[in-house]
Chains A and B, each alone.
Chain A
Amino acid sequence: MLERVLEQLRAEGYLQGDTGDVFAEADAGHDLSPWVLALQMAGGWLSALFLLLFLGVGAAPLIDSAEAWFVVGVLIIGATGALMGRKEVMAGSPVWRQFLLVASLAGHGALLVGTMETSSHERGIALAMVALFESFMLLWVRWMPHRIVSALMFGGCLLVSFNKLLAPEFAAFWPPLYWAAVSALWLSESRWQASFQSEALYALATGLMLVVLGGSLGLFLDFSMPLRGIGAYGGVYPLAAVCAVNVISLAVPARPALTAWNHVLAAVLMLAVIGLTWRAPAIGMGMLVLLFGFARGHRWLLALGGVVLVWGVGRFYYDLQLTLLDKSGLMVLGGVLLLSVRWLVGLKGDQK
């Protein structure tokens, strides 16, 4: 099948040159049995943790200021990053690669310890500088696991610096801001996936998405606990903004498929469902991630979206201040609504 597709692409002018060697490079490091690779990753992590404890026990008494922690963190991340980018390292033992990753994690940890050692009024600036550093590492280190770590650090440090530097009413809008960026990135993947920095953009979309979903699941921050509002700061407007992002992100790509009255009605009903659950944005976000995962062929994204959707719906019903009887009625109504949408989608409606 691949050969046939390549011939078609070549005939249509999209593909040039000999394609023989590219596969060998693309598959570098992917020729191991996945089970043996998993063993090496587990062993690499365990070994690295012990060696980092060795370094920590020896070095920690010598590091006594925030600046020293920053220097140690930058040096460790820089050194491991430089090694990770080398071809011979990438093609070599997975144990060594996992060791470098764990060592790099220790460097990121040192940066976080350094920010905590700063005074309260300097912390916002320190976190913003760390976010800037992580954005550079995201672009520079050409290995996906490390890019994702850098993206997570970038997203996390940036939002905490928002909280420190901006007025609370503005800082509370970081979820819709991040979510809009995530949606824009996944929706536009067809445009950037061929670019040189596609891995960095993929990692950025993943990192920001995990930061927002972590917040929406209540793992940290007060954001979007269903029906409890957004916490102390922005009230319900950030929730509404996230809901708007969800609706737009679903409606815009679905427009070409809305060619019959039944499809339009089905879409309106589903968007109404998302609108009605706007105070539990995990539902809309989970649905969006599920659809992104399917649309772009990323199975892990599909699975993550499913988990978030189930969690969001469960948490929504759990938090409803209603009796079990009323909740049961709502659930049945919700189920009937979904089956009705299914029936509408399955109808052979007239085309416009």
Chain B
Amino acid sequence: MGQSSLRRYLQSLAHSGQLSSTGLEIGLQRCGVLPDAERWHRFVDRLLLGGGALLILAGIIFFFAFNWTGLHRFQKMALVSLPLIVAASRAVLVGVDRAEGKAWLASGVVLAGVLLAVIGQIYQTGADSELLFAGWAVLTLPWVVAGRAPWLWLFWLVLVNTALTVFLVGRLDVWVFFFFNDAMFWAPLLVNALALALWEALWPRIVWMRAAYAPRLIAAFSAVAGTTLGVSWWFLGSGTHWNAMPYVPLVYVPWLAATFWFYSQHRRDIVPLVFGALSAIVVLTAGLIDGLSDQFWRDGMAAFFMLGISVAAMTAVAAVWLRRVLRHWSEAGMVGVGEKHHA
């Protein structure tokens, strides 16, 4: 029973008159909801340590910021390279099997990007912004592989997605008609779906990959990319110059179907199913808005009413299906990943 459930339970006893006010306070203390002296000491200690360290670190950064323009370019690069070398060396010495080693390795991964940014600032080559993130991802890939940490892979995937997004946004202009096929806008969904498929394929074989949060976050990235693509299809799919847009359902629908099948029948995780359901609701709502667009001009009241009822109905259907899935897992003794026995 979690802390909020414990508190709710004890408060219910108090509200029903069975537990006195003093008893409620004592009960909360004994159940660990309220901290004891030892927890207080640990909290104050960590708060002061964290606050003090952050302030000193910020002071050091401000000191270098004050002197930055006066530094020679080699001094600037040395200021970033030295911590990078220290971080990498510590990671090797401590070993990436330990949490401390992984933390040093992660620091090195971050500092590599900072070094690239400093180099880019010093030597202004006019390169596109996405090259920074793409280069950062490529150069740090060996370290991320060596790190064997789900959170480090997620950070790396964020770099890839950032590079991709910056690339696409930078080409939302006339160039897309002459030099690039608009199918490139499918790339975020394809990249993230591929990442998720690879993760799930390796999940049974590699122990450190079995962290529930990692595939859930990748599924969230896929859902955002898929939803954006699906919504765009409704408004850009026909009568426009976006040549590849009419074929979006060939990508979106299989992705949605595969997500629903895999996580309801195979891996049993409610979270990607919720993301998929939410994506479907948003895309279908966008379709309704597109279909009712003429109606808004003639009779906005009726259009809003239909939208409201439709969204409520879709949400209810999705919730009923998801609860049925959870009940099926529970009855078959197959509790889903990260889920308690919910109806």
Which A residues touch B20, using CB under 8 A?
Answer: 14-15, 194
- The chain A residue sitting closest to B315, CB to CB, is A43
Closest CB-CB distance, A25 to chain B, in whole Å? Answer: 6
Q: Does B232 contact A (CB under 8 A)?
A: no
Q: Does A54 contact B (CB under 8 A)?
A: yes
B18 near A335: Cβ-Cβ < 8 Å: no
Q: Does B277 contact A (CB under 8 A)?
A: yes
A324 near B9: Cβ-Cβ < 8 Å: no
B326 near A33: Cβ-Cβ < 8 Å: yes
Q: Identify which of residues 1-48 in chain B touch chain A, using a CB-to-CB cut-off of 8 Å.
A: 1, 3, 5-9, 11-16, 18-28, 30-35, 40-41, 43-45, 47-48
Which A residues touch B51, using CB under 8 A?
Answer: 335, 338
Q: Does A86 contact B (CB under 8 A)?
A: no
Which B residues touch A339, using CB under 8 A?
Answer: 48-49, 52-53, 56
B35 near A295: Cβ-Cβ < 8 Å: yes
A50 near B304: Cβ-Cβ < 8 Å: yes
Give the CA-CA distance A325 to B52 in the complex, in Å. Answer: 18
Give the CA-CA distance A338 to B300 in the complex, in Å. Answer: 60
- The chain B residue sitting closest to A37, CB to CB, is B319
**Contact-size category for B:** 35 or more
Closest CB-CB distance, A13 to chain B, in whole Å? Answer: 8
B307 near A50: Cβ-Cβ < 8 Å: yes
Q: Does A82 contact B (CB under 8 A)?
A: no
Q: Identify which of residues 15-54 in chain A touch chain B, using a CB-to-CB cut-off of 8 Å.
A: 15-17, 19, 22-23, 25-27, 30-33, 35-36, 38-40, 42-44, 46-51, 53-54
- The chain A residue sitting closest to B1, CB to CB, is A2
- The chain B residue sitting closest to A341, CB to CB, is B48
Which A residues touch B308, using CB under 8 A?
Answer: 47-51, 53-54
Give the CA-CA distance A82 to B251 in the complex, in Å. Answer: 47
Provide the A329-340 mask, 1 if CB < 8 A to any CB of B, else 0. Answer: 111101111110
Majority DSSP secondary structure for residues of B touching A? helix
Closest CB-CB distance, A59 to chain B, in whole Å? Answer: 10
Give the CA-CA distance A331 to B66 in the complex, in Å. Answer: 14
Give the CA-CA distance A31 to B5 in the complex, in Å. Answer: 11
Which A residues touch B9, using CB under 8 A?
Answer: 2, 22-23, 26-27
B316 near A93: Cβ-Cβ < 8 Å: yes
Give the CA-CA distance A2 to B11 in the complex, in Å. Answer: 13
Closest CB-CB distance, B323 to chain A, in whole Å? Answer: 6
Q: Which 4 A-B pairs have the closest CB atoms?
A: A43-B315, A14-B23, A335-B55, A331-B59
Besides A35-B270, A342-B44, 12 more A-B contacts (Cβ < 8 Å) are A14-B26, A17-B16, A19-B18, A22-B12, A36-B270, A39-B318, A95-B316, A290-B47, A297-B7, A328-B59, A335-B54, A342-B52
